Structure 1
Amino acid sequence: MSETLPVDLNRDGLHDVDVPASFEADGSFAVTLENHGAPVHVHLRLDDELGEVATLEASNHYVEEGSTRSVGVELHGDLPASGRLKVVTGYGAESAYVDVNVVEPEERSDAIPVDDDLTTPRRRTTERNDDPGELRRNLPLVALGVAALALAVTAGLLVNGLAALFGTLVVLVGVGVAAYFLLE
């Protein structure tokens, strides 16, 4: 399906407008104004039916000699829809109409189907690892944690004070967090 509606200007004379009889799109599209002659002013207008589902980027355009200008048409309403696009040149001297039919987009063949289950978060399941080899590899870390805990408790008993108590609590929390991650 075409995404560009071609409009030829000044091909057979000044202010001449040549448009296809009809145009079909399945989404937003562009109107390409190709000028084959002298510079020209072009006015684009969507009829009421098409104007309910589409919006022109701009309605008045100046197209220089031998140049091409593209005008976007954004779709924003319920599809399918149809209507007419009016193309006017020479301040109303010449006009042409294009029947525009906007259809529902087809499902693409290269689209990847997504299961609805992917939209809901899943709970994380943890499996305990009771592998004796894994426990042996972590034994030095466990010994270091026990030594740090013993040192913190000893320091807390020997030094009477709030700082020693706070330090002991910090070491206890650290050892607890480390143990949690080791056993997970």
Structure 2
Amino acid sequence: MSETLSIHVNRDGLHHIDVAQSFETDDSFTIALKNHGAPIHAHLHLDDDLSEAASLGATNHYVKADDTRHVTVTVRDAPASGKLKIVTGYGAETAYVDVEIHELDEQQDSIPVDESLSKPQRRHSARTESASSNVVKNLPLILLGLFAVVLAFGAGLVVDGGVALFGALVVLAGLGAAAYFLLQ
């Protein structure tokens, strides 16, 4: 449930703070300080109860005009609850967020594993699978090549045998080379 707590400052006036009244998580989370106006300093503070389970890397943050500053809150222990205090304008505005940290639900983040995964699997060669799929894709081309070979041998029987036979062998060699490259 790792989420982001958005805090909007300077949206409705200088030093104004707009934030949800409560926030719930089960893991470390990010605070996004979104400044909608002039540059500002924001002070973040975890109350005593919350600071026993979580921590901030720094408490004072400068946020440039029309910029967002991301602050990580590292959760060490759960469950826990407490208040996050946000102060702007050196005390001109103050807001509080009730933070609830739930225990991490291991089952929610787990991936079920079937017993069949523990048994050895027959290995299929990727080359064999791709070759068979290439044969299916190129079946019309292969049939056209075979028709050309049959036509060349038929012409060899009707016309002078030696020249037609040579032509049929050239067509057959070309078909073999094409098949080799198609199946790669």
The TM tier, using the shorter chain, reads 0.5 to 0.7
Q: Distance in 2 between matches of 1:90 and 1:114?
A: 57
TM-score (norm 1): 0.59
Is the contact between residue 83 and residue 99 of structure 2 (CA under 8 Å) also seen in structure 1?
Answer: yes
Q: Is it true that 1:68 corresponds to 2:43 in the alignment?
A: no
Q: CA deviation at 1:76?
A: 1.0
Counterpart of 1:94, as a letter, is: E
In the other structure, the counterpart of 1:153 is none
Q: How does 1:105-120 map to 2 (within 5 A)?
A: 105-106=104-105, 107-108=107-108, 110-112=110-112
In the other structure, the counterpart of 1:92 is 91
Q: Distance in 1 between matches of 2:110 and 2:79?
A: 23
Q: Distance in 2 between matches of 1:16 and 1:36?
A: 10
Q: Is it true that 1:34 corresponds to 2:34 in the alignment?
A: yes
Q: Any idea what the Cα deviations from partners look like across 1:142-172, whole Å, max 9, x if unmatched?
A: xxxxxxxxxxxxxxxxxxxxxxxxxxxxxxx
In the other structure, the counterpart of 2:49 is 49
Unaligned segments of structure 1, at least 5 residues: 116-184
In the other structure, the counterpart of 1:104 is 103
TM-score (norm 2): 0.59
Is the contact between residue 2 and residue 28 of structure 2 (CA under 8 Å) also seen in structure 1?
Answer: no
Is the contact between residue 2 and residue 24 of structure 1 (CA under 8 Å) also seen in structure 2?
Answer: no
Q: Distance in 1 between matches of 2:57 and 2:114?
A: 34
Report the count of equivalent residues: 115
Q: Distance in 2 between matches of 1:56 and 1:109?
A: 25
User: Hey, which of these two has a bigger chunk of helix by percent?
Assistant: 2
Q: Distance in 2 between matches of 1:90 and 1:14?
A: 8
Q: 1:22 to 1:38 in 2, by over 3 A?
A: same
Identity of aligned residues (%): 55
Q: How does 1:1-184 map to 2 (within 5 A)?
A: 1=1, 3-77=3-77, 79-106=78-105, 107-108=107-108, 110-112=110-112
Unaligned segments of structure 2, at least 5 residues: 116-184
How large is the RMSD of aligned CA atoms in angstroms? 2.0
Counterpart of 1:46, as a letter, is: L
SS at match of 1:108: helix
SS at match of 1:34: strand
Q: Distance in 2 between matches of 1:8 and 1:21?
A: 13
Q: CA deviation at 1:111?
A: 2.1
Q: Any idea what the Cα deviations from partners look like across 1:44-79, whole Å, max 9, x if unmatched?
A: 0000000000000210000000000000000112x1
Counterpart of 1:49, as a letter, is: D
Structure 1 segments of 4+ aligned residues over 3 angstroms from their partners: 112-115
